[in-house]
Amino acid sequence: MEYIVETKDLTKKFPNKLAVDHVSMHIARGDIYGFIGKNGAGKTTTMKLLLGLLRPTSGEMSLFGSTKLDEGRIKIGSLIEEPGLYKNSDAIENMKRFAILNGGDVNEINEILDLVGLSGASRRKVREYSLGMKQRLGIAISLLGHPDLLILDEPINGLDPAGIKEIRDTILKLNKEKGVSFLISSHILDELAKITTRYGIINDGRLVEEIEADVLNERCQTNLKISVDNVNKAESILKENNLLNRYEINDHELVMFDHYEEAAKINELLVKGGVKVNGLSHSDMAFEDYFIERIGR
Amino acid sequence: MGKLLRFELRKILRSKAFYVCVAISIGFLILTLVTAKVANDALEAIGQPTLTLSGVFFAKSAISNASIGMISAIFIAIYVCEDFTSGTMKTIIAKGNDRTKVYFSKYIISVSAVIIWSILSVLVAFLIGTAMYGNNEALKDNVAVIIIGQLLGVLAYHSLYFMISYSFTKVGASIALNLLGPLGVNLLLNFGDTLIKSDSFKLTDYWIDGIVGNFTASTTNNKLIISGMILLVVYCAATAIGGWLIARRKEI
């Protein structure tokens, strides 16, 4: 597979901290790569290394299949930490300045501002903007020059639910219609789960796992919650029928990690056995549980 | 590099800080002209000898009267540090722009701005001075050398301020160091001179302030003027290269 971002044993050591520890990361063209990790795990440092803002202590990187990194970076738009903006200028002026460096004409500027929902506020000074508006302008600047890859560090920080949805829709639209790939870090796992095609989980500077979203969803959804009136009786019925191997009991709830596809049969057995079944559902909390399990907390 | 120069040029042309600094500077200059007239009138009233004022007289001292050294210390700090404090430097570097080119495009545009500002001050002083007092041919000697020497002094200070600001990247710290650093060096050299106690050799003659001061002193010989100019060019080059060495290793 051809990767547009590939690192091998990428390491960054600060005087008092090993921030990135032999990270080997792979992002394919078309990916929306969700980069997950707790605060200080090394997400931003890894992104900064990819963008040339920090120098690696050791390791290799390639962008778009080439080790000529500055040439690759021309094809990347980014938003790292807080958006870099000229606060005493308006959005149009900010866009025009960066269009000199990144490319883009007035029409493109207006189109992008419209896309991020800032066309109505484009003549207001940036210092008067809310955090969410600044974030959207940062994304708008990163879109100048038709980048092939966008690296976004916590892009939905400070956005209200409507703003989060707008950014999510924008990301999906750019990915599907223009083939733009994304590397996105976020703490809001549920939001990330709605768009990500591939995950990278980082902890204490080490890339713990890279996993396709489909695979992760499959793993997480093998989790059937059965709410019953008598959990002990249900447990013994299912054991007798060899349907209970990996499971947990929480109050009146039986959580099964296998045989989830046999929900109908399980329901029938329990009812026939005199157990009142109040509910059967697949849990969607397992993604967070999986993440916590992988980072070992 | 062309794109970076256009980017920096657009920034400086739309920078309020630049216009405010130039306006303050010209304001100081005009105040000096008016003060000189008031002082001369007062001397004349009490029958004391007066200064021979003219357009050329004010043009020669325009750069120091406009306080360009001090005000540019503030302007350079704001101009250089803005990209670091606002985070825009991350966006510039992340787009694959070479750090050396970013540094020198910023340097070239800011040094051009300071030179234009200095020349504007000289012109304003000359024109207003001439309008107020006319011109005195006797004062025209060495005027080009004095102005070029002062411009070199401005360039040397610009490079020093630029290096300091690029190293510290914080507006407040850079302004403080730009203003106090050269002053501190001057004080130390003065202290050194008091210890050396020599009439023929003074440490302060080799620091930017001393060199520029020598250009305007009537007693300065050609040898000292030439060595001063060479030294100012060395200061310019050394601080520009020093700043570049810091910039190319800088992590953001």
Count of other CB atoms within 10 angstroms of residue A169: 12
CA gap A7, A95 in Å, rounded: 31
Min Cα separation B238/chain A (Å)? 26
| Contact flag A76-B94 (C-beta cutoff 8 Å) | yes
ipTM: 0.82
> How high is the pLDDT of residue B205?
84
The structure tokens listed for A189 are 């796992």
CA triple A29-A31-A32, angle to 5 deg: 145
The structure tokens listed for A142 are 């990163």
Residues 6-65 of A with CB under 8 A from B: 48, 51-55
Residue A12 contacts by C-beta under 8 Å, 6 or more apart in sequence?
A18, A19, A20, A42, A45, A46, A49, A54, A56, A57, A205
Give the lowest-confidence range in A175-189, A236-250, B39-53.
B39-53
**Any CB–CB contact under 8 A between A95 and chain B?**
no
Min Cα separation A295/chain B (Å)? 28
Higher pLDDT, A214 or A43: A43
A285: pLDDT strictly greater than 60: no
| Contact flag A101-B92 (C-beta cutoff 8 Å) | yes
**Any CB–CB contact under 8 A between B97 and chain A?**
yes
CA gap B50, B193 in Å, rounded: 33
Which residues in chain A touch residue B88, judged by CB atoms under 8 angstroms apart?
Answer: 84-86
Min Cα separation B68/chain A (Å)? 25
Min Cα separation A52/chain B (Å)? 6
A221: pLDDT strictly greater than 70: no
The structure tokens listed for A94 are 């900010």
Min Cα separation B247/chain A (Å)? 12
Closest residue of chain A to B98, computed from CA coordinates = A70
Among candidates B155, B122, B143, which has minimal Cα distance to B215? B143
**Any CB–CB contact under 8 A between A93 and chain B?**
yes
* pLDDT tens string A94-110: 999 999 999 888 888 99
Which residues in chain A touch residue B249, judged by CB atoms under 8 angstroms apart?
Answer: 55
CA gap B107, B96 in Å, rounded: 19
CA gap A81, A76 in Å, rounded: 16
| Contact flag A48-B11 (C-beta cutoff 8 Å) | no
**Any CB–CB contact under 8 A between B223 and chain A?**
no
**Any CB–CB contact under 8 A between B91 and chain A?**
yes
A50: pLDDT strictly greater than 80: yes
For residue A150, is it left (φ>0), alpha (ψ between -120 and 50) or beta? beta
How much is the pTM?
A: 0.82
Give the lowest-confidence range in A140-154, A205-219, B74-88, B150-164.
A205-219
Average pLDDT over residues A262-290: 83
Closest residue of chain A to B1, computed from CA coordinates = A101
Q: Between B88, B90, B94, which is nearest A86 by CB? A: B88
CA distances from B57 to A72, A122, B142, B153, B223 (A): 57, 50, 11, 19, 23
**Any CB–CB contact under 8 A between B251 and chain A?**
yes
Could you give the count of Cα atoms lying within 13 Å of B89 in the half-sphere of its Cβ? 23
| Contact flag A87-B96 (C-beta cutoff 8 Å) | no
| Contact flag B10-A100 (C-beta cutoff 8 Å) | yes
Closest residue of chain A to B92, computed from CA coordinates = A101
Is residue A212 a contact partner of residue A196, using CB atoms and an 8 Å limit?
A: no
A87: pLDDT strictly greater than 60: yes
Average pLDDT over residues A206-226: 81
Binning pLDDT at 50, 70 and 90, where does residue A284 land? low
Tens of pLDDT, residue by residue, chain B (252 residues): 889 999 999 999 999 999 999 999 999 999 998 888 888 888 888 888 777 778 888 888 888 888 898 999 999 999 999 999 999 999 999 999 999 999 999 999 999 999 999 999 999 999 998 888 887 666 666 788 888 888 999 999 999 999 999 999 999 999 999 999 999 998 999 999 889 888 888 888 888 888 888 877 666 677 778 888 899 999 999 999 999 999 988 888
**Any CB–CB contact under 8 A between B16 and chain A?**
yes
Which residues in chain B touch residue A49, judged by CB atoms under 8 angstroms apart?
Answer: none
Among candidates A67, A55, A290, which has minimal Cα distance to A192? A290
Q: Between B7, B87, B93, which is nearest A52 by CB? A: B93
